[in-house]
Structure 1
Amino acid sequence: MGGEDLVSACEFFAHDDLRDSQKEMLLDSINVLEENGFLIASAPTGIGKTAASLAAALKIKNKSRNGKKILFLTGRQSQHKIVVDTIKKINQKVSNELQIKLTDMIGRESMCYDVNAITGECSCEGGIEERARRSNRMKLVNKILEQPMHVEDVIRLSRDEEICAWASARISAKDADVIVCDYNHVFIENVMKSSLSSMGIELSNSILIVDEAHNLPDRVRNGLETFLQPLAFQHAYDETNEYLGYKEKEINESDIDNTFDFGELEGIRTLKRQLNKLKKDMEKWYDTKEKELGDKKDMKIETNEFLNKINESLMESLDAGHTKKFEVMERMIKLLYVIVPEELGEDEEETACSRLAYLLEICIEYRDNSALALVIDRIPSRGREKSEYTEQPIRVHSFLLDPGVISGPLFEQTSGSILMSGTLYPPSMYSDVLQIPEDRKNITKEYRSDFLSNRRPILIARDVTTKFTSRGLSNTNKINQHIFSTIENSKGNVALFFPSYVMMEKFRALEEDWLPQVWPSIRVIEEKRAMSKREIETSKKSLYELESNGERGVLMGVLGGKFSEGVDYPDNILQAVICVGLPLAPPSAQQDALKKYYEKRFGNSLAWRYSSSQPAVNSLMQAIGRPIRKGEDRALVVLLENRLLQRNYKICMPSSLQTIEVSNPERTGKRTKSFFEYFPEPAKENNETMG
């Protein structure tokens, strides 16, 4: 890759200065995309991932003859704004012929008024006749394509004019060069089928940029995670009975002889009979499984066992003869999707019929594939401890063990992809787990930060652990003392993260042992098990209010939770992060199935790392990155877990990470004090090359 390529790529580079790490990532991106390949980039916050990836993708798009689309996929609305602002800056630099058209969109529920959970329809354009509706939408579409707009601005304009922002954004996507949207548009099958084709997007002519790609495996897994309670069959029966009564009344009151409607009615009556039989048979089956479960938390069952039980009941309900296996069940699934009740329950987001249909669809598709696991577990109740789960009813719970069975074929269809994150480590693991095609150009790489590591030292305490066999009063007291020493000798707001809510709540009760008693008092802001986006934003806002009043706060949360992932804390509002322990996945039937599956796919040496140790360490890496949102930010990190000094965990940490061992709370306090004396003030400068 010569200097000429770099110069032409820099035409689409948003900023005036190109750092060494950005240059390296930019050239690697061009290198793979020219051959429809893949870059899996572990790139620290602050190096400018967004600007580098967009510049490379736009260069390749500009060279292509068939007008490739660039899909920038992100699960964070804050990143939407960064992408839109970056494209605006690029448009200020390039000629009129190269102006970039962009569509920024989020979920329909956030873009529209009153979205009906059953039909998916909104009331944005209620009362407006069709011709005016089309005209109004096209006016908004033209504004969207005229210059890059944040989705919030699109929504505001649509509300003023009574236009559906979501529908307008989808129309504009057909002519946009860059579409900023959620992962679901590509990686969740039912969303993708209804979304991409309607927007005129073909994966084969698209470049994907996947931001925060460390989240992608779990996002793909979540698409196939569903559950079925014993009462689901009764609820599906009730919905079908209600729908049948409604349709019978509708036909009886109609003067038109509609043979098709009568045919549909007969199908619904058959479905009602099937569900009536199923609810009785499956109640007995669930009772048997509950006895087998006993006092265990969960247990794995075979997918075919579950399917065969339902199939057996269906065949008996129809007195059916010899038919193709699951043929009756597949017909039932189609009918289940037809059932649309007049309204859903207060806490329901889908019908019982559609939930049952979806689980059965998944089970049939993966019945001979160990990538899907079915587990019997207990329905969790908010606020209950795990020891109380035995009082809760059971359910069938589906888990996708291997996201690669879905993501691999989708990446195969694309014109190349860039996957990037500050915690995409090791990048080779994500290439394996997501089944990135091996027959095309591949680069898996860890990029180094251009910024000095002395602005973000990482202390690891070698005298404490949360390992179950080492817990005790002495260990707890030392953890308290490390926390106390860090808070006492630091400045500003401090984040304090634990491996679980149970442990967080335990230490919250010990607050007087680790929270310095000073005036004004330090306020504790605690993460709750169930928090809305608004509550999270309110908690975040409290940190700024405390700082402006000259006060301090401790943000207390859970590793892998709401405060430690997916929330940005700009302006160096957090000046220190303390992480207690390792968030290793607790023993479970699901975790055991995952490890065994990975043993078959990757061998024993990688199975433990891919299923347990690496995800736990990556949760830590996410948490310690919260205070660092731009290159100049400074923050102290304290990791209270001596297992991180052991080889099997140490190899899970990025090689660029520089750590300092501390032997006791006194050393932690001295290191903390020295750091804040050397860097007394947080960074306040704006940095436009934020990652």
Structure 2
Amino acid sequence: MYLDYLPYESLRPHQDRMLDAVYDVVSRGNQGILMIDAPTGTGKTSCISAALAAAPGKIVVAVRTVSQIDIYIDEINRIWSKTRHKPEIAYMVGKQRICPLEGEFRAESVYAGCLRLREWTKNYVSSKIGKGNAAIYDPHADSIPEEEPGYRTFCPYYLRSREGFEINGSVHFRRSARALDVVEGLKKRVTAPSGLMDSCQGICPYEIMSLYAKNSDIVIMNYSHLFSPDFQDIIFQWLEMDSEKVTLIIDEAHNLGDAVRAMNSRHLTQRMIDLAETEVEKFEGTLGQARLEETREEASWRREGIRIIRQLLPRLRRFLQSRLDRMPEGEALMDADLFRAFLYDGIDDIEDALSYFSDVAVAVADLNLAEGDRENLQGDIQPSLALVLLFLRDMETAETDIALQRKIVVTGVGKRKLVRLEVNNIDPAANIRRITDNVNATIMLSGTFSPLEAYELYCLGEEGRAEKLSLPNPFPKENRLLLVAKKATTQLEQREDMDNREEISGHIRSLIECVPGNVAVFFTSYPMMNNYRDVCLSSSRKVGKKLCVEPRSADQVPELLDLFFSLGARGGGVLTGVCGGKLAEGIDYKGEALKGVAVVGLPLSAYDEIQKEINSYYTMKYGKIKGMLIAYTLPAINRGLQAAGRVIRAESERGVLLFCDRRFGYDDLGGVNQFLPGWVREELILVDAREGGELIQEKIAKWQMDNYSGGNPERDSEILPAGDLKGAAQKRRAQESGRKGDESSSAKRARPRRGGKRDLRELARSLGLGDPGSKRS
């Protein structure tokens, strides 16, 4: 029914292919999976239309960031405007983003503060019922007292979301009539997260959001809602979804594996130990003992559990402190034997000790956690004693599970250093498959999903598990110039070679000096960015551009981006950052925001003991070639493609994309050309720094000519006679035929295409545009 709207009036053929493939997989069901590699501009979000037409039940869209929610809301708005169908769309957003009282929680998280106020609110309602004659308390019929912010005894927003009623002397709660009315109102329009607060009429937005999600056609939620081990088992029950009728769309799916790995990892900090000790003390107090009903045998278990905990927590603190004192900033593999010998010294049976520990942790949770806390789908999970136990359990599991990696991390915050222990899950496939193998169908979408076969192994752990579709770049080829360094590289053995450094510097200068407007240069690391800072600064000054350097603090990013975006219309700026960093992914540089990007180096992870262990795991699982690709090469390719993808975000935009490392252009000697998207491989031109600068100048001059003539071929031929163009081309071909080099077969395939540079320069001058290679170009 939704295919009568297909999202744009003139669908391109490859978009038809994508929508047909989505429709087929979703309509067949049977836990089918479709992986789609579709560059920017292919209309990936329009897949929601085909899924709506074929899906037997609810559609769940999993996104990495809240900003992606707006993209799908825009798509639903198009459906509403183009057809008579009105699919209802809801979303789940973390409380820290939509809680009206978020700014009032000082020393606690919004989740802990919310939990506290919710319990106090329930007590407030109970007292109201006890004082009155009515068996039902409706907050909307009552005069709710105003309280001073930060010193509240109840939450007025949560209060308005519930009605209290008494049965047989016990107080129960249900959704308020006003809350139900608000949800009905939301069904009549599409409301973005930014407008949700104003639509809630003083009722808790999170309560409204969760209530609406149960009955909507589409629910957008964060990855963690589905793939976190703490929520994975309850999300379908909580939202009353039949998993066999759920169709899952995963956006930006190239991020899914790493995100799931992070969600399924545990850590331990000194603060967690402090909080855990506080919880044990509270548990031993009079109030805790008075509220706990237990037999004599249970009391004996509790006492033994407390004795074990009193031994382990101080030892954990001492171990962390010793690592903090001895270890520099960074991360290292943990000596698991040393850790276990120190922690469990004098304890004969570790499993028995952890069982006693568990008995106390469960009792503490029963005392401290409200029943409704399962609705906290993001944020802190309390209590800390349980988290310490889960960490210790995972440490023991890692003794036999080679997919779990144990390490120590020391970080610096100002003049202070912090330490934490981690147990990381390095293989996300099993946790992803727990969802994908139990829903109707899964559609995985990404603009940087190449090679699909490698991502299939990484995310799904099985060859042939998914159907795969790779689409070409839909934007006009003439609007982009893709270059790759013929000589330059950041490989360790060549990194300090003077000729190599000069080649890298030359490529950087060409991008900054020859591309008008804003450009960005992304490096493999902060030290490398600092090594070429002077090059970037001198070239920026030469052409009157301002240098903007990626800050270490995320808090400074918005201000820096505001400055950089403003420079696009007044002389231009040069942004330097790090691949995989705060500026190279997830930011949309549209319009004049970015005209050229250089990716300097292949951004491989540090080849340390931690990375070697990950490489060893995947090599053992998939063999050396596939294993190393997944463990080591694939993340680097993705970081590079993500950084490069910041330029040319719309069909009308033009830009230069430079891979400043020869490994992007070759398949041998550590090259990765064969793993790049097909359209990138086809368009890459191998150049040295001088050739790259010339080609950029030629392309810029051509674009300037197009701007002058309005892209009219007839007018173009009037400005420059066809015979002159032909002669320039013939001359260039003659020059090319005489060139000699030692390029490999892949290099020859990507040999630079040369145009009439001299003629274009003369043309630019005749049009009053100046020398394309000059400061004003």
What is the TM-score with the length of structure 1 in the denominator?
0.83
- 1:235 is matched by which residue type in structure 2? D
Q: Secondary structure at the match of 1:639?
A: strand
User: Which residue of structure 2 aligns with residue 524 of structure 1?
Assistant: 547
The answer for the alignment partner of 1:330 in structure 2 is 358
- Indicate yes or no: 2:62 matched with 1:73: yes
2:257 paired residue number: 217
Deviation at 1:327, TM superposition (A): 2.7
1:357 aligns to what? 389
State the match for 1:235 in structure 2: 274
1:100 alignment partner in structure 2: 87
Whole-angstrom distance in 1 between the partners of 2:618 and 2:527: 29
Equivalent residues of 1:207, 1:417 under 8 A apart: yes
More off after superposition, 73-82 vs 164-173: 73-82
Distance 2:13 2:644 in 1: 24
Residue deviations 1:530-563 (CA, integer Å, cap 9, x gap): 303xx43333322332234x23111221101111
The amino acid across from 2:392 in the alignment is L
Q: 1:613 to 1:60 in 2, by over 3 A?
A: same
Give the residue type in structure 1 aligned to 2:282.
Y
> What SS does the corresponding residue of 1:99 show, helix, strand or coil?
coil
Percent of aligned positions with the same letter in both sequences? 22
Q: Distance in 1 between matches of 2:618 and 2:161?
A: 56
Aligned partners of 1:250 and 1:409: how far apart in 2?
38
Q: How does 1:234-313 map to 2 (within 5 A)?
A: 234-236=273-275, 238-244=277-283, 247-248=285-286, 259=293, 271-282=305-316, 298-302=332-336, 310=343
Note the C-alpha offset of 1:203.
Answer: 2.6
- Relative to structure 1, the CA distance from residue 433 to residue 166 in structure 2 (aligned partners, 3 Å threshold; closer, same or farther) is same
Are 2:455 and 1:430 aligned? yes
| 1:638 has 2:658 as partner | yes
CA distance in 2, matches of 1:226, 1:581: 32
Partners of 2:547 and 2:574 within 8 A in 1: yes
**d(CA) in 1 for partners of 2:587 and 2:477?**
23
Q: Distance in 1 between matches of 2:326 and 2:548?
A: 42
Q: Distance in 1 between matches of 2:92 and 2:320?
A: 42
Write out aligned runs for 1:277-676 (5 A).
277-282=311-316, 298-302=332-336, 310=343, 315=347, 326-335=354-363, 337=365, 352-363=384-395, 367-375=399-407, 377-382=408-413, 395-435=420-460, 442-472=466-496, 473-518=498-543, 521-532=544-555, 535-548=556-569, 550-647=570-667, 648-657=671-680, 658-676=682-700
Q: Residues 208 and 78 (structure 1 numbering): CA distance in 2 closer, same or farther, change over 3 Å? A: same
Q: Which moved more, 1:632-641 or 1:115-124?
A: 115-124
Tell me, in whole angstroms, the C-alpha distance in 2 between the residues paired with 1:228 and 1:91: 48
Correspondence for 1:174: 214
Measure how far apart 1:490 and its partner are: 0.7
Gaps of at least 5 residues in structure 1 are 1-7, 342-346, 385-390, 684-691
CA distance 1:451–1:129, shift in 2 (3 Å): closer
Give 1:526 shift. Answer: 1.8
- Tell me, in whole angstroms, the C-alpha distance in 2 between the residues paired with 1:596 and 1:221: 17
> Which letter maps to 2:242?
E
Aligned to 1:31: 24
**TM-fit CA distance, 1:280:** 4.4
Judged with a 3 Å threshold, the aligned counterparts in structure 2 of structure 1 residues 139 and 543 are, in CA distance, closer, same or farther, namely: farther
Q: Secondary structure at the match of 2:678?
A: coil
Query: Which residue of structure 1 lines up, in the alignment, with residue 738 of structure 2?
Result: none
CA, structure 1 residues 452+296, in 2 after alignment: closer, same or farther (shift >3 Å)? closer
Task: Please list the CA deviations of residues 391-426 of structure 1 after superposition, one character each: whole Å capped at 9, or x if unmatched.
Answer: 967642211111002111211011101001010111
Say whether residues 1:56 and 2:79 are aligned partners: no
1:56/1:82 CA distance change after superposition, 3 Å:
same
Residues 644-670 of structure 1, C-alpha deviations (whole Å, 9 max, x = no match): 223141112112213444543322222
2:238 alignment partner, SS class: coil
Q: Distance in 1 between matches of 2:447 and 2:351?
A: 53
Q: After superposition, what is the alpha-carbon deviation per residue over 1:440-464, rounded to whole angstroms, capped at 9, x for unaligned?
A: 7x31121112332232221111221
Residue of structure 2 in register with 1:109 after alignment: 96
Inter-partner Cα distance in structure 2 for 1:436 and 1:214: 15
Q: Is the 8 A contact 2:2 2:83 kept in 1?
A: no
The CA deviation string for residues 119-162 of structure 1, in whole angstroms up to 9 with x for no partner, is 6536461664843972332222112222221111112323xx22
Structure 2 gaps, min length 5? 103-108, 118-154, 165-174, 370-378, 708-777
- SS of corresponding position for 2:631: helix
**Partner letter of residue 447 of structure 2?**
G
**3-state secondary structure, aligned to 1:569:** coil
The question of 1:14 aligning with 2:7 is answered yes
Query: Does the aligned pair in 1 maintain the 2:35–2:443 contact within 8 Å?
Result: yes
Q: Which has the higher contact order (CA 8 A, sep 6+)?
A: 1
Measured in 2, the distance between the counterparts of 1:324 and 1:242 equals 22
Instruction: Work out the CA distance in 1 between the residues paired with 2:221 and 2:272.
Output: 36
Which is higher, the Rg of structure 1 or of structure 2? 2
What is the distance in 1 between the residues matched to 2:239 and 2:553? Answer: 35
Q: Secondary structure at the match of 1:651?
A: helix
Structure 1 counterpart SS, 2:208 = helix
2:53, 2:550 → 1: CA distance?
43
Distance 2:391 2:50 in 1: 41
Select between 125-134 and 666-675 the one with higher mean Cα deviation.
125-134
Q: Write out aligned runs for 1:116-265 (5 A).
A: 116-118=110-112, 120-121=114-115, 123=155, 125=157, 128=160, 130-131=162-163, 134-158=176-200, 161-229=201-269, 231=270, 234-236=273-275, 238-244=277-283, 247-248=285-286, 259=293
CA deviation after TM superposition for structure 1 residue 508, in Å: 2.6
CA spacing shift, 1:682–1:637, aligned 2, 3 Å: farther
C-alpha root-mean-square deviation of aligned residues, in Å? 3.5
Cα distance in 1 for partners of 2:233, 2:223 equals 13
- 1:163 is paired with a residue whose SS is coil
Q: CA deviation at 1:189?
A: 2.0
Query: What is the CA–CA distance in structure 1 between the aligned matches of 2:329 and 2:68, rounded to whole Å?
Result: 45
Shift of 1:505: 2.6
Determine helix, strand or coil for the equivalent of 2:637: helix
Paired residues of 1:233 and 1:275 also in contact (CA < 8 A): no
Aligned residues: 637
Query: 1:43 Cα deviation (Å)?
Result: 0.7
CA contact 1:459–1:660 (8 Å) conserved in 2: yes
Corresponding letter in the other structure for 1:415: N
Q: How many angstroms apart in 1 are the aligned matches of 2:694 and 2:265?
A: 47
Distance 2:329 2:157 in 1: 54
**Structure 1 range deviating more: 131-140 or 422-431:** 131-140
CA shift for structure 1 position 11: 1.8
From 21, 27, 37, give the equivalent of 1:42. 37
| Partner SS for 2:484 | strand
Q: Provide the rounded CA distance (Å) in 2 between the counterparts of 1:349 and 1:174.
A: 23
Taking structure 2 as the reference length, what is the TM-score of the superposition?
A: 0.74
- Residue type of the alignment partner of 2:567: L
